[in-house]
Structure 1
Amino acid sequence: MHKKKALVLPLLIAITTIFTLIVFPYLLSDRPTITYFPGHERIRFLKMETQLRSDRDTGTLQLDSFARTQEKNNLMQNFSLLYRNNQLVSILNHWEKNTAVLSSIKKTGLEPGFYEGLTVHQAELHLNESIYGRERYSQDQLMVLKQNGSYSAFRQPSNRQEALALADYNRRVEQQRTQLLQRVAQNDHIQISDYRVIPLNELTDKTLTKVFPFSEAKAERIAGQLWEGLYKNFVRGIQLTQEQGVQAIGSTLPLLLIAPDHMLIVIRAQSGQMVLLRQNFS
């Protein structure tokens, strides 16, 4: 079946704002969105954590997300993407006002596979007439195996069977990503060698200025705007055009193609359609 290529959508803040006003005013009006605001020294995260737990008795996979800041914020939000075998299976979006602690839980059915939970924790502080924000990131990974009707789970392999299962998964994902990049290069005439290719799960607090080799403030702004764009393109589905959208569930973990002055975000929807987003580093 012929796959229709998705429209290229920019993630520029100005364009994102226009996109939100046109497409989502009635969809997102009842809840805060991940929105980038400049940082402030009063916003200090004391703890951020994402943890995956498998419950063999109930057959569920649980994602726990937790954040604590030094003082109360006007708004705190945990936004998590849960992937199994490199495909999105669940979204967690939880927020509370006037708090310094936010604990969030999301459950889904347990199946064999490699799980990754990625969370952006955001705190928003209003001072006088200005709004400030800060984002921090956490993640967890869990491999779930099933043999003879029984589940087992591990983060690091402890025997040969687990090591082989993890190696096989990594090989298959790398092959899928190579094919995805080849398709993008062919369809959109992009020279992949001009970019550094980094999966979204490699963007962490520790790697932030390595992924985006600028000042810490600029790297934080780029990452914050990236997650703002992902939120607005994922929570209510991936909007291909103003008239057409597809569900985000089933889409692949985003690949970041990073150049000196911009970034491309590559995603394959469950339907097979390609989504190519652009964010300039202005």
Structure 2
Amino acid sequence: MKRLSLLFILLFVFVIIVQMFERPARETIMFFPIDPTVRFTNAQTKLSLQPKKKETRYVIDWIVTSSLDRTAYLRQDISMLFANGRLIATQSKWKEKGKNLIQQKHVEQKGSRLFQSISYHQGELHNGDDIRSSQKMSGDLLYVIDSSFAPLQSFRKPITSEQKTWANTLNKQTQTIVNKAAKQTNDILQTDEYYHLYLTELVQYNEQPFMDLTTNETEIMIGNLWEGLYKNYFLGIKKQNGSIESPIGSTVPLILIKKDYSKLLIITETVDGELVVLKQLLEFTQ
């Protein structure tokens, strides 16, 4: 009986060890040198409004898709959705030995809102001991008008005078929220030494290099930026007291890039009003 018990214990330990070694690739974002021969054939983030309300609330369909031109050791996508300048939802998905990823979420909201989403798509490629990556960003925005004085509607670019009025109002509301963190930053930093942009504006650097940088250097900076964002913002914000807080309710991160490209800062205000500054050193050698 004792021998059977001992055999069972040894077998159980062996199974655990095997599972540890066979555990699939880690679910995280890690930047590796870019492989210029690999590309995304599709990378898209799409927001759309369902036409009918659910009682007093409406539903936003939020779809994130991507396709790599070959099978990767690891495929990963993360996405964030902001409403009037504050994070309201996230999505993430990863797949071993994959090319394509699809994510979809239905988000219920009420009231007029400016929705902005940004996604980071990555493929990790292994060739023996050589590890490379491919990356791309995508994003979308959607104005939703939910008012007792107008029918439920949505648009990306305002066309009518009514839409232009609403867009102007929602833009101002959003800027008021995100600019609060920027104003606090001005009190503690020489911000004229930095380039400024908000995270949702980063998508434009898919196709063009950042100021004074080459395309390759821009890709390195963006890849390292997303690695840091994932670990220190997306998964949770580390506050001054050491506690980890959900990023939901925090403001769109403000990105400050030192003009000598020695470092960058990621700045956000948590849901309870605490200003958080994340620092990242920049290194362009691969």
TM-score bracket for the superposition, by shorter chain length:
0.7 to 0.9
Per the alignment, residue 272 of structure 2 pairs with: 271
- Which is bigger in relative contact order (C-alpha 8 A, separation at least 6)? 1
Amino acid at match of 2:121: H
Name the SS for the 1:203 alignment partner: helix
Moved more, 211-220 or 114-123: 211-220
- TM-score, normalising length: structure 1: 0.82
1:250 aligns with 2:268: no
- TM-score, normalising length: structure 2: 0.81
Per the alignment, residue 129 of structure 2 pairs with: 129
Amino acid at match of 1:168: T
Per the alignment, residue 160 of structure 2 pairs with: 159
Question: 8 Å contact 1:208–1:220 — kept in the other structure?
Answer: no
CA distance in 2, matches of 1:194, 1:206: 21
Measured against aligned partners, the alpha-carbon deviations of 1:201-223 in whole angstroms (never above 9, x if no partner) come to 11125466543531222211111
Per the alignment, residue 21 of structure 2 pairs with: none
Identity %: 25
Could you tell me which runs of 5 or more consecutive residues in structure 1 were left unpaired when the two chains were aligned: 1-28
CA distance in 1, matches of 2:33, 2:25: 24
Q: Structure 1 residue 153: deviation in Å? A: 0.6
Per the alignment, residue 53 of structure 1 pairs with: 48
Amino acid at match of 1:54: L
Tell me: CA distance 1:280–1:47, structure 2 relative to 1, closer, same or farther (3 Å). same
Q: Structure 1 residue 175: deviation in Å? A: 3.4
Question: 8 Å contact 1:48–1:66 — kept in the other structure?
Answer: yes
CA distance in 2, matches of 1:215, 1:175: 34
Larger Rg: 2
The 5 A counterparts of 1:2-21 are none
For these two proteins, the number of residue pairs brought into alignment is 252
Tell me: CA distance 1:269–1:30, structure 2 relative to 1, closer, same or farther (3 Å). farther
Per the alignment, residue 79 of structure 2 pairs with: 80
Measured against aligned partners, the alpha-carbon deviations of 1:111-152 in whole angstroms (never above 9, x if no partner) come to 330001100001111111222112100000000111238421
Question: 8 Å contact 2:267–2:277 — kept in the other structure?
Answer: yes
Amino acid at match of 1:116: Q
Per the alignment, residue 169 of structure 1 pairs with: 170
Per the alignment, residue 21 of structure 1 pairs with: none
Name the SS for the 1:179 alignment partner: helix
Measured against aligned partners, the alpha-carbon deviations of 1:244-276 in whole angstroms (never above 9, x if no partner) come to 122200000011112122211110011100010
Per the alignment, residue 220 of structure 2 pairs with: 221
Per the alignment, residue 120 of structure 1 pairs with: 120
Per the alignment, residue 18 of structure 2 pairs with: none
Name the SS for the 1:211 alignment partner: coil
Q: Structure 1 residue 42: deviation in Å? A: 3.7
Per the alignment, residue 3 of structure 2 pairs with: none
CA distance in 1, matches of 2:196, 2:233: 21
Tell me: CA distance 1:212–1:78, structure 2 relative to 1, closer, same or farther (3 Å). farther
